[in-house]
Amino acid sequence: MSAPNPELRRQVIAIYKELLNLGKDYPQGFSYFRPRLHKAFMGNAHLRDEDAIRNAIARAEYVKKEIEAL
């Protein structure tokens, strides 16, 4: 297996950081939010197919918009 596309890796790290930042204002608290965010991202760490990674990034963007709406 080859290494993932560096651009996709950059996007994944950026959305993770954005979600972490939004988690600071999460209604149930950062201590509730951070472990669940980490678990969700680690659950997708095995992905190597670029289309699957793009779908996961799109799902993370959707979650970001939902959190912003809170």
pLDDT band of residue 67 (cuts 50, 70, 90) is very high
pLDDT at 2: 59
Taking only the tens place, the pLDDT of each residue in 9-60 is: 999 999 999 999 999 999 999 999 999 999 999 999 999 999 999 999 999 9
Residue 64: count other Cβ atoms within 10 Å of its Cβ: 15
Q: Is 46 exposed, middle or buried (0-12, 13-18, 19+ CB in 10 A)?
A: exposed
